[in-house]
């Protein structure tokens, strides 16, 4: 078994069999049971995350090497002719046409009598599976009838349309929210607790079977202060119960057990060794019922605004966690991009941008920036391997020391998060 780590794949170039760059791996989406990589989101065109298009490439269509090198049997022309999707509407699964070599370049068919045209254009957006399943509900009831039946009112059709449209919208919101919960960058950074609510650490990344896409291990980071003395532990993924809607994962173990299998972030053991896997399976038995589903019922915009105001407002705990009197600047390389949940956040609040950065002196530090939506609004995107400069202050958050950022710089990008007094700049605008 060849295992690859998600931090080694996300941010990597995707190349054709001929070595041409097709784009960059933007993220990886897991299956609904969190046991398998469903598809890789490919970012192509423009700058990473800015002005680029996203394509859902099934994991089975990719060839993943042991060092995270990824290739796809396709050409640039086929990619330009393929269906992309919006960053606001991620599909529930990959585009299966990528599983047939060259099929993407032959997606256009002629229109014949009684058939609709299936031509795809570069600007066309891939429909989410949930939307496709409800497309009939969105059509006008009674379409094709030449006259209204006796006793039917003209308003009955509009009422039915309104109800079906509302149902379709709710289903679409729920489906998209579920997919967001399955993104590796959302799962990276979630807190790991045991059934006694004791903090065990954070999920740092995942180890995947390169050929099948099966998630084999959750890599948990714990201990240490600002990269000094921090340790990693590999835990079989079937021992972890995920509650991504609460930004939490449950692991029935103790810190002492994690310590017994801990290793340095710079010196990973042979995770694919049968002996190693057998030892871990005995220490971490499979959780009853497997991983919890990440479904969250859709919340109204008002509920989300209220939750965001509490989590990200000027008087929220995250805003107040910044110490303007102890600001420092560090430089390093992004190791992973993930999400954190601000203290005191209610379910439904948007997540924050979490970065793991390896500094010039070899330490790995955790950086908490502002809301994800704020970074996106300001067109700030980084990926593993990018050089970055962070200005911020040390803060103790949930029994761990992090850098609460006031400014991030990467290449030509600058994200100003706070003013000189430490007041969050995102709190001046509307919540997203």
Residue in 329, 351, 350, 330 with CA at minimum distance from that of residue 340: 351
Compute the residue count for the chain.
Answer: 432
Res 172: pLDDT: 53
- 301-428 folds as OB fold (Dihydrolipoamide Acetyltransferase, E2P) (2.40.50)
Higher-pLDDT residue of 425, 225:
425
Res 45: pLDDT: 85
Res 327: pLDDT: 93
Percent of the chain with pLDDT over 90: 53
pLDDT band at 244 (very low <50, low <70, confident <90, very high): confident
Residue in 69, 425, 4, 70 with CA at minimum distance from that of residue 205: 4
Res 315: pLDDT: 78
In whole angstroms, what is the distance from residue 399 CA to residue 415 CA? 27
- Any bridge partners for residue 72, and if so which? 16, 62
Neighbours of 62 (CB within 10 A): 22
Residue pointed to by tokens 């994962």: 249
Highest averaged pLDDT of the listed ranges 213-217, 269-273, 290-294: 213-217
CATH class of 3-98: mainly beta
Q: Is the CATH number of domain 184-283 2.30.30.240?
A: yes
pLDDT band at 308 (very low <50, low <70, confident <90, very high): low
Helix, strand or coil, per DSSP, at residue 65? coil
Res 304: pLDDT: 53
Q: Give tens-digit pLDDT for 95-125.
A: 999 988 544 543 433 333 333 333 333 334 4
The answer to whether 133 and 93 have CB atoms below 8 angstroms apart is: no
Asked if domains 184-283 and 301-428 share a fold, the reply is no
- Show me where the domains of the chain are located: 3-98, 184-283, 301-428
Q: Can you tell me the mean pLDDT for 396-423?
A: 90
Res 145: pLDDT: 39
Q: Can you tell me the mean pLDDT for 274-300?
A: 72
């Amino acid at each position: 078994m060849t295992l690859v780590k998600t931090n080694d794949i996300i941010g990597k170039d995707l190349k054709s069999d001929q070595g041409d760059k097709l784009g960059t791996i933007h993220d990886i989406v897991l299956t609904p049971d969190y046991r398998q990589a469903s598809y890789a989101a490919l970012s192509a065109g423009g700058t990473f995350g800015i002005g680029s298009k996203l394509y859902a490439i099934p994991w089975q269509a990719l060839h993943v090497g042991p060092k995270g090198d990824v290739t796809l049997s396709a050409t640039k022309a086929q990619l330009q002719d393929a269906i992309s999707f919006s960053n606001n509407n991620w599909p529930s699964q990959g585009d299966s046409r990528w599983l047939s070599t060259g099929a993407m370049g032959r997606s256009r068919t002629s229109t014949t009598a009684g058939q609709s045209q299936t031509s795809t254009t570069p600007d066309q957006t891939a429909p989410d599976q949930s939307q496709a399943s409800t497309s009939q509900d969105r059509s006008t009831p009674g379409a094709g009838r030449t006259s209204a039946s006796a006793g039917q009112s003209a308003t009955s059709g509009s009422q039915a349309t309104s109800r079906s449209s509302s149902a379709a919208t709710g289903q679409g919101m729920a489906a998209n929210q579920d997919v967001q919960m399955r993104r590796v960058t959302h799962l990276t950074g979630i807190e790991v607790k045991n059934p006694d609510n004791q903090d065990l650490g954070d999920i740092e990344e995942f180890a995947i079977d390169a050929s099948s896409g099966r998630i084999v291990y959750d890599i948990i980071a714990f201990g240490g202060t600002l990269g000094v003395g921090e340790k990693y532990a590999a835990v079989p993924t079937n021992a972890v119960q995920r509650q991504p809607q609460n930004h939490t994962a449950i692991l029935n173990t103790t810190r002492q057990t994690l310590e017994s299998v801990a290793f340095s972030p710079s010196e990973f053991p042979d995770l694919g060794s049968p002996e190693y896997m057998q030892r871990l399976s005995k220490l971490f038995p499979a959780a009853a019922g497997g991983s919890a589903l990440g479904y969250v019922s859709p919340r109204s915009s008002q509920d989300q605004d209220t939750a965001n105001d509490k989590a990200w407002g000027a008087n929220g705990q995250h805003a107040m966690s910044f110490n303007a009197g102890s600001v420092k600047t560090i430089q390093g390389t992004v190791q992973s991009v993930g999400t954190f949940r601000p203290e005191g956040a209610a379910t439904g609040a948007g997540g924050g941008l979490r970065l793991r950065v390896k500094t010039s002196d070899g330490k790995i530090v955790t950086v908490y920036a502002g809301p994800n939506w704020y970074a996106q609004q300001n067109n700030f995107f980084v990926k593993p391997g990018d050089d970055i400069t962070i200005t911020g202050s040390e803060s103790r958050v949930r029994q761990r020391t992090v850098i609460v950022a006031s400014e991030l710089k990467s290449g030509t990008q600058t994200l100003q998060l706070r003013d000189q007094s430490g007041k969050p700049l995102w709190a001046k605008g509307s919540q997203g």
